[in-house]
Structure 1
Amino acid sequence: MRILDNHKYVWLLGVLGWLILSLVLPQNPVQAADIQPTARPEPTICGTGRSISVNGSALINVTPDRALVQLGVQSNGTTVDAAEKANSQAIQRVIAAIRQQGVQAGDIATDLYVIDPIYEDYDSLYIKGYRVNNTVAVTIREVNKTSVIVSAALEAGANQVHDVSFYTSELRKYRDQARELAVTAAGEKASALAASAGAEIGCVQSINENSWSYYNGWWYGSNRNASLWTQNTIQNAPSTGDSSTGSSGDEPISLGQISIKAEVSISYALK
């Protein structure tokens, strides 16, 4: 009887094991023969035996739509309090005059504030007074009013104009365009050189980029023309169509154009 009980016990364990396996294993097991290895894409081969390196550059001329003017008031006084009081009154009149031209308060910021002693002479340490220099930076969004705003500030008491600069609020857009033109110019140059040597360009091995922007005013004279002729591609950006950004030519401050340049160095494999 003990032997029979042991056989029944073994049989029950076998049945229980089979039930567990039937629940765990999938009903339609995948055969090993049906599993196909995933084909890996072949890496792109870029030959390094022969190559050509060229530079490509592009220049886009843009009419500015912003101006930054740095102007201020210099005041003297026998004491610090007197000099500061005179300067504070003058700069407040200047700011009020600028605000009357439509410039928002957020576009006017103190750029420099300095108090210096005034000595009797160069060899003396005797202080006979004090000088206050107070400069504000004014962002002008209606660039056609730059001359008017500067004149209003001077009439209100400003006695210093340190700088007038122009820029574009869409620098990123024009710089991306210049980069694209520079890459195209580099590719055309590389293709022409390779064809002259009986070869063709292949994949790009490396790209290096250097971009900047600067103002082209009339005072640059011949240097401006010389810099333009060194470019592969020169493009004048179309006007926005807003006549308010134009200039009649009678103002003492002329807008000119912003020159946005992109330059790339590209190495191509030869095939």
Structure 2
Amino acid sequence: MKRVPTVIAALLTSALSFGAMANNVDFPHLSTSGYGEVVATPDMAEFTVRVVETTMTAEQAKQSVDKVVSDFLDELTDQDVSKDNITSSNLYLSPQYHYPKEGKPELVGYRASRTVNVTVDDLTKLNQYLDIALNAGINQVDNISLKVKDSAKYREQARMAAIKDANSKADSLAKGFGHKLGSVWQIDYNMPSSQPVLMRSMAMDAKMESNTYQDSTIVIRDRVDVIYKLD
């Protein structure tokens, strides 16, 4: 009696553990990777700004940075931004040295910095808050991330699309190799650790209209690896 050959179809897989597991299966099977993505319109944002000052003394640097952050937080409060949507870091202070070719390093001042992270529930106000940061004395934008509020809904849609993709590939491959697709034997799924988002950066002296962000889109992706039995 001739043994039915094992069919392995590895499709765009980068998960070595999944591939090794499939190779160790001792019955006719087929393995696929399904991919899904959903395009969403951002309706919120998160940005991180930083103030950096270098002065002759540590106390001057601290006072200067603390004042800028305090003014910025006060302005955000005046704009009815919830305190739950604002986080600020502790002061980071470091001495600055000049290193001559000969002789010992010379202390030339102190560098102080603090960062503030703001969650923006209304995307139309993003540029307004960035302008407030500029006027308060913030001199660096570290990151601007566009997001969606109901991310779980879009993640579920992407996941279902990935499952449908895996099933479609498996059915097509089984038919192409002259087999019937059996039941699912193994599902390997690891939710992505972070949601893919469209990233924007913006110079503090630049002026951009809010609809520049509102016209953007976010692609949310998911993936599932499946091993099917072959009849």
Using structure 2 for the length normalisation, give the TM-score: 0.75
AA aligned to 1:191 is D
Alpha-carbon displacement from aligned partner over 1:27-75 (angstroms, at most 9, x marks no partner): xxxxxxxxxxxxxxxxxxxx96321111111001122233111112222
Q: CA deviation at 1:143?
A: 1.7
Range with greater deviation from structure 2 (250-259 or 108-117):
250-259
Match 2:49 to one of 67, 71, 85: 71
Q: Residue 130 of structure 2 corresponds to which residue in structure 1?
A: 150
- Superposition map of 1:4-15 within 5 A: none
Match 1:162 to one of 128, 138, 142: 142
Q: Which runs of 5+ in 1 are unaligned?
A: 1-46, 220-248
Q: CA deviation at 1:100?
A: 2.9
2:230 paired with 1:270: yes
- Contact kept, 8 Å, 2:146 with 2:198, in 1: the verdict is no
Alpha-carbon displacement from aligned partner over 1:184-225 (angstroms, at most 9, x marks no partner): 111111111112223211110111124433124589xxxxxx
AA aligned to 2:56 is T
> C-alpha root-mean-square deviation of aligned residues, in Å?
2.5
AA aligned to 1:104 is S
Alpha-carbon displacement from aligned partner over 1:114-165 (angstroms, at most 9, x marks no partner): 1011224466522232121011111111122111110111012111111111
Match 1:215 to one of 172, 192, 197: 197
- Superposition map of 1:51-200 within 5 A: 51-111=29-89, 113-121=91-99, 124-200=104-180
- Contact kept, 8 Å, 2:91 with 2:112, in 1: the verdict is yes
AA aligned to 1:215 is V
Match of 1:198, SS state, is coil
AA aligned to 1:150 is L
C-alpha distance in 2, partners of 1:182/1:117? 52
Using structure 1 for the length normalisation, give the TM-score: 0.65
C-alpha distance in 1, partners of 2:65/2:217? 35
Range with greater deviation from structure 2 (153-162 or 253-262):
253-262
- Contact kept, 8 Å, 1:69 with 1:139, in 2: the verdict is yes
C-alpha distance in 2, partners of 1:140/1:209? 32
C-alpha distance in 2, partners of 1:74/1:252? 30
- Superposition map of 1:229-248 within 5 A: none
- Contact kept, 8 Å, 1:209 with 1:262, in 2: the verdict is no
C-alpha distance in 1, partners of 2:134/2:200? 24
Match of 1:58, SS state, is strand
C-alpha distance in 1, partners of 2:121/2:81? 8
C-alpha distance in 1, partners of 2:200/2:114? 30
C-alpha distance in 2, partners of 1:217/1:134? 22
AA aligned to 1:250 is E
C-alpha distance in 1, partners of 2:179/2:51? 66
Q: Which runs of 5+ in 2 are unaligned?
A: 1-24, 202-207
- Contact kept, 8 Å, 1:87 with 1:132, in 2: the verdict is yes
Match of 2:117, SS state, is strand
Q: CA deviation at 1:254?
A: 2.1
- Whose radius of gyration is greater, 1 or 2? 1
Q: Residue 213 of structure 2 corresponds to which residue in structure 1?
A: 254
Q: CA deviation at 1:101?
A: 2.9
